[in-house]
């Protein structure tokens, strides 16, 4: 199995993948899907950028399949690198949706959602029964120290990242620590997720590398993210 290595230092790369900008969302259903994950071509192109990156951000409006792309990225990362698991941070109650998406996209059914008592969750982290672990934002602040032990060999997917856009919140601080410790990271955002430059700055730093200089990427992404409102575009930012 190939050994995972950190990507060499470089500037963040922006890519805009569009299904059909002239026809609109209905064009998506007419595009032949790309195997092995059954992605539409524009999703497959976005997934290719993100799979090749150590850190990435995927921005698109609701309904274009961010979770499907993320599942494909996770499966390909598990297949081709030394990553042992995918840890998904999401809203409470999102585990069932993720389990369905992962099973449909990848065929993997070993998805564990970390609910129940603190003792039950901590036991699950310790025994690590699944390649896919879904962790609700509501338990991050209490569970972060235990989850950190898994991060060195994990891809962390930060879903619905508007939940951590306030850097003063405990869950945001916990997510930042996990992202910084993870071997790889992927953040999923809607185009209107962050309302201010400071929120964008915190989210992009969390997704890419907390210590990096992302000023140019922030200037571009806050302008180009608006492209995704109401069309069939996916914007990826990779490092």
Note the pLDDT tens digit of each residue in 23-64. 455 555 566 888 999 998 888 988 999 999 999 889 888 888
The pLDDT of residue 198 is 77
The Cα–Cα gap between 39 and 72 comes to: 8
Q: Please give the mean pLDDT across all residues of the chain.
A: 82
195 pLDDT tier (thresholds 50, 70, 90): low
The pLDDT of residue 107 is 95
Please give the model's pTM, rounded to 2 decimal places: 0.86
Least confident interval from 16-30, 110-124, 205-219, 223-237: 16-30
The pLDDT of residue 220 is 63
**Residues 6 or more apart whose Cβ sits within 8 Å of residue 179:** 156, 158, 185, 187, 206, 207, 210
> Is 169 within 8 Å of 144 (Cβ atoms)?
no
Q: Any idea which fold 13-22+41-238 has?
A: Rossmann fold (3.40.50)
5 pLDDT tier (thresholds 50, 70, 90): very low
Query: Has residue 7 got a pLDDT over 90?
Result: no
- Mean pLDDT, residues 228-239: 67
The larger pLDDT score, comparing residue 176 to residue 211, is at: 176
Judge residue 118's burial from the number of C-beta atoms within 10 Å of its C-beta, 0-12 exposed, 13-18 middle, 19 or more buried. Answer: exposed
- Mean pLDDT, residues 160-178: 91
The pLDDT of residue 119 is 92
Q: Which of 125, 116, 86, 118 is nearest to 102 (CA)?
A: 86
Q: Domain segments of the chain: what residues?
A: 13-22+41-238
Peptide bond into 36 cis (omega under 30): yes
- Mean pLDDT, residues 218-231: 56
The Cα–Cα gap between 101 and 68 comes to: 6
> Is 234 within 8 Å of 40 (Cβ atoms)?
no
């Amino acid at each position: 199995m190939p050994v995972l290595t950190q990507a060499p230092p470089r500037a963040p790369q922006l890519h805009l993948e569009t299904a059909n900008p002239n026809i609109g969302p209905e064009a998506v259903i007419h595009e032949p899907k790309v195997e092995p994950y059954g992605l539409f071509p524009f999703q497959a192109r976005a997934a290719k950028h993100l799979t090749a990156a150590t850190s990435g951000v995927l921005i698109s409006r609701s309904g274009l399949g961010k979770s499907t792309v993320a599942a494909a990225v996770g499966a390909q990362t598990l297949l081709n690198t030394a990553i042992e698991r995918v840890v998904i941070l999401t809203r409470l109650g999102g585990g069932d949706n993720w389990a369905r998406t992962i099973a449909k996209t990848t065929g993997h059914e070993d998805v564990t959602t970390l609910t129940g008592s603190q003792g039950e969750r901590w036991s699950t982290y310790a025994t690590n029964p699944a390649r896919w672990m879904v962790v609700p934002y509501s338990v991050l602040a209490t569970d972060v120290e235990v989850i950190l032990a898994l991060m060195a060999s994990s891809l962390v997917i930060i879903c619905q990242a508007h939940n951590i856009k306030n850097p003063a919140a405990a869950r945001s601080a916990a997510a930042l620590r996990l992202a910084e410790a993870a071997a790889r990271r992927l953040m999923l955002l809607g185009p209107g997720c962050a309302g201010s430059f400071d929120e964008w700055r915190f989210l992009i730093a969390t997704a890419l590398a907390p210590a990096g200089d992302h000023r140019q990427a922030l200037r571009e992404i806050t302008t180009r993210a608006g492209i995704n409102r109401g069309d069939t575009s996916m914007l990826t930012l990779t490092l």
